[in-house]
């Protein structure tokens, strides 16, 4: 049986009795209103999901740009430092003079003067004078002597009167020796030859070479 409202009471719908409002705009059906509410609710959540999904990609892109910027700044700083170093190094004068060195050749022998030494480099730091190499700087010198001879001979490399020779070879047809000696200003390095079975002028020399290189520049020198 239906309970009819008494006099003075308005009818109440089941939806209103449950506390759910069913008010809709005029001319709008109820089902359309609920679908619009659902669409509005979904559209309000969707941008949040998109923002959360794109956040790692944006952070990665930002970090990548910062890394590229740091690398460019570092390269610029390195180029600046290189330019400054090259600029100042070009202006700083050399602390020491050029290293004393010389390479001479001897290809013929004269009875009075022995082996004649000549320097192919006329602009070298050491000079040949009176068939001798002039020493201008005190210090240790690397000395190399090479040569092949057509006859037996005795050969001595002198540097100062009254001192033992730098090399002393007896009855040889070749020489290939290296030594280090302490030489001083005013010393003169020269070759002294003694022949046994032929005159000095009859001896042929192949590859005769004498080299001196100063090993500790910066000491006492007179030019």
108-117 pLDDT, tens digit per residue, is 898 888 899 9
Mean of the per-residue pLDDT values of the chain: 78
Q: Report the C-alpha gap between 16 and 45 in whole angstroms.
A: 29
37 falls in which pLDDT band (50, 70, 90)?
Answer: very low
21-31 pLDDT, tens digit per residue, is 445 455 555 44
Q: Which pTM does this prediction carry?
A: 0.56
Angle at 15 between CA 11 and CA 21, to 5 degrees: 105
Strand (E) or helix (H) holding 55:
helix 30-91
Contact between 139 and 217 (Cβ < 8 Å) = yes
Strand (E) or helix (H) holding 154:
strand 139-158
**Tell me, what's the pLDDT at 217?**
85
Q: Give the least confident one: 49-63, 118-132, 167-181.
A: 49-63
Considering only residues 7 and 100, tell me which one the structure prediction assigns the higher pLDDT: 100
66 falls in which pLDDT band (50, 70, 90)?
Answer: confident
Residues with Cβ within 8 Å of 145's Cβ and at least 6 positions away in sequence, in order, are 157, 167, 175, 176, 177, 178, 209, 210
What's the mean pLDDT in 162-174?
93
**Tell me, what's the pLDDT at 88?**
65
Dihedral of CA 215/220/222/223: which sign? positive
Of 124, 131, 176, which is closest to residue 158 (Cα–Cα)? 131
What's the mean pLDDT in 132-158?
95
Q: Report the C-alpha gap between 78 and 119 in whole angstroms.
A: 46
Partners of 181 in the β-ladder: 141
What's the mean pLDDT in 193-220?
90
């Amino acid at each position: 049986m239906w309970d009819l409202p008494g006099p003075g009471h308005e009818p109440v719908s089941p939806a209103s009795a449950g506390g759910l409002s069913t008010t809709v705009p005029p001319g709008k059906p109820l089902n359309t209103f609920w679908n619009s509410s659902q669409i509005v609710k979904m559209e309000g959540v969707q941008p949040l999901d998109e923002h959360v999904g794109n956040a790692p990609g944006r952070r990665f892109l930002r970090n990548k740009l910062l890394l590229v910027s740091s690398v460019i700044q570092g390269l610029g700083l390195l180029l600046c430092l290189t330019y400054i170093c090259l600029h100042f190094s070009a202006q700083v004068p050399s602390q020491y003079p050029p290293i004393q060195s010389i390479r001479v050749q001897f290809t013929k022998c004269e009875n009075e003067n022995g082996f004649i030494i000549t320097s192919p480099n006329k602009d070298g730091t050491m000079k040949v004078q009176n068939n001798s190499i002039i020493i201008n700087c005190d210090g240790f010198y690397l000395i190399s002597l090479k040569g092949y001879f057509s006859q037996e001979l005795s050969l001595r490399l002198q540097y100062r009167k009254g001192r033992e020779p730098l090399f002393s070879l007896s009855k040889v047809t070749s020489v290939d020796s290296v030594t280090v000696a302490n030489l001083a200003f005013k010393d003169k390095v020269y070759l002294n030859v003694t022949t046994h079975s032929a005159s000095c002028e009859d001896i042929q020399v192949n590859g005769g070479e004498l080299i001196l290189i100063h090993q500790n520049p910066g000491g006492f020198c007179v030019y």
